[in-house]
Structure 1
Amino acid sequence: MSAVLRVEQLSGGYSPKRSIIHDLDIEINEGEMVGLIGVNGAGKSTTIKHILGLMTPHQGRITINGTTLDEHVEDYRSSYTYVPETPILFDELTVEEHLRLTAMAYGVPEQQYVELTEKLLERFHMVKKRKALSAHLSKGMKQKVMIMSALLAKPSLFIIDEPFLGLDPLGIRSLLEDLVEVKRNGSAILMSSHILSTVEHYCDRFIMLDQGRIIAHGTLDNMLQQASEHSKRAVSTLEEAFYAMLNGGEA
């Protein structure tokens, strides 16, 4: 497998004199979903903002498909889609118009756009809302529009920040099923989430951040082993590993 996203020795923050994240090394391959986990303030959002190109690193290098933002801005930005924790939509556009705008931005062929739009509206139970202005949608519905737009684009890399917030159980199920298909088709996924009991069953690997540093990483078995060694007791779930690593060894 080849790396879609590669982060090498990344340090950065909001002030040029103070780094929030330190010496991060992250690699996500084709057909792989990696969970980014940690307490609030651990550096997850800062890491994501650097990958998105919204922040300039103090040091380090970030590439998507071997390309940096400085080398080819359009190629870099068209290689990923981003679903933020808080949905951001245009109030004056309908659900369908948001999907059309995404298709135009990512060069989705017309026939593919038509077929995927119908499929996504059906899967996320948004058929009756296709003509609704986003200003009239609930937060959960707005989140569905963001997710549908990302899935429509079919990029090399999906960056998803707390995707389950505001989604109903049917929406969560649809998203997870689609992400499994996304992996199968060769895209890479970086997903930040606090819902550990859910991501435990879907992510291939995990990266745990604490105070801007990677303190544990690997498959679920790797994480459980590291947490068990850290806490000197057997750990059997990702949630227990989280508590053991970040709560003074108490699981």
Structure 2
Amino acid sequence: MLLSVNIQEAGYSRQFPTLKNLRFSVSPGELVGLIGPNGAGKSTTVKSIMGIIHHFKGDIDVNEYAYIPERPIFYAQLTLWEHIDFLFSTLATTDETAFFQKAHELLDLFNLSAAAHSYPERFSKGMQQKMMLVLAFLKQAKLYLVDEPFMGLDPKAVKKLLLKLEEEKEAGAGILMSTHVLDTAEKICDRFILISGGKLIVQGTLNDIRKLSHLKNGSLLDCFDALTEDY
């Protein structure tokens, strides 16, 4: 097990917790979709796993992970390549030649090679998000926490991201992907965790969710609507 989550309650204040009684896990070689509408508690869940939420009760057992944030995070005074250099300095056991070869491959994949020595504060939102992808995949982690990854990406970049996630999954990585883009999640996720209003609605495969929603051939969106009509 790469990730085991048992959240009794979590949020930005003790008086008004965002999440209650949320339990799930992620195993090697699977992509689990954490899905729900805006404000459902998806980002709060990810922050709880990372240990950066203000109020938390429960237990988190998490492997070493790479994080792809919803909003790009970077140092304004460093170029893209200097971010890559800095990342390498934090990974003491990484083979230098292999690391920087991988860096060039990822920059080429996401069309950032020409911007390698530029400052990310001058990038478009899409370029900044692709920079986050490069840095995350450079860690070659066993677990990836991916928070609303499609924001700001054009269709070609989305396709490249999905192919890269599949590649990492096939190599044995576990992936928890938070998203409200249900049509894409339906196509790529092995299992789903549906939350609404900070509560777990249901978890399982698409077939499991169809059975619970009594929609034999329903889309993930249809099932989600049926299961959350009282929330």
TM superposition score normalised by structure 1: 0.86
Aligned residue identity for 1:245: L
Q: Secondary structure at 2:75's aligned position in 1?
A: coil
The 5 A counterparts of 1:115-194 are: 115-194=101-180
Question: Is the Cα contact below 8 Å between 1:37 and 1:207 reproduced in 2?
Answer: yes
Aligned length: 230
SS in 2 for 1:26: strand
Residue 40 (structure 1) aligned with residue 26 (structure 2): no
Say whether the 8 Å CA contact 1:235–1:241 is kept in structure 2.
Answer: no
Q: 1:219 aligns with which of 205, 209, 218?
A: 205
Match of residue 89, structure 1, among 58, 62, 74: 74
Q: Secondary structure at the match of 1:115?
A: helix
1:52 to 39, 50, 53: 50
Is 1:113 aligned with 2:99? yes
For residue 60 of structure 2, what is the aligned residue in structure 1? Answer: 62
- For residues 148-169 of structure 1, the C-alpha deviation after alignment (integer angstroms, 9 at most, x for no partner) is 1000001121111110110111
Structure-2 change in CA distance of 1:90 and 1:9 (3 Å): closer
Aligned AA for 2:76? D
Q: CA deviation at 1:242?
A: 1.8
The superposition leaves residues 114-136 of structure 1 with CA deviations (integer Å, 9 ceiling, x where unpaired) of 22111101111111111111121
> Could you report, residue by residue, the CA deviation over 1:72-123 in whole angstroms, capped at 9, with x for unpaired residues?
xxxxxxx112111111111222222212222222333201212211110111
1:80 to 65, 73, 81: 65
Deviation (angstroms), 1:47: 1.0
Q: CA deviation at 1:241?
A: 1.3
In the other structure, the counterpart of 1:20 is 18
Question: d(CA) in 2 for partners of 1:160 and 1:32?
Answer: 13
Could you give the per-residue CA deviations for residues 35-56 of structure 1, whole angstroms, max 9, x where no partner exists? 0011122111111111011026
User: Structure 1 regions of 5+ residues with no counterpart?
Assistant: 66-78
Q: Is the 1:227–1:235 contact (alpha carbons within 8 Å) kept by the matching residues of 2?
A: no
Deviates more, 1:138-147 or 1:106-115: 106-115
Contact 1:98/1:145, CA 8 A, preserved across alignment: no
| 234 and 148 in structure 1: CA distance in 2 versus 1, 3 angstrom threshold | same
**C-alpha deviation, 1:19, in angstroms:** 2.3
CA distance in 1, matches of 2:56, 2:135: 32
CA distance in 1, matches of 2:95, 2:8: 36
Residue of structure 2 in register with 1:31 after alignment: 29
User: Does the 8 A contact of 2:38 with 2:180 survive in 1?
Assistant: no
Deviations 1:161-209 (A, max 9, x none): 1101101111111111110111111111111111111111111100001
Q: Which has the higher contact order (CA 8 A, sep 6+)?
A: 2
Query: Partners of 1:106 and 1:238 in 2: how far apart?
Result: 39
- Alignment-derived partner of residue 7 in structure 1: 5
Kept in 2, the 8 Å contact 1:33–1:189? The answer is: yes
Identify unmatched segments of 5+ residues in structure 2: none
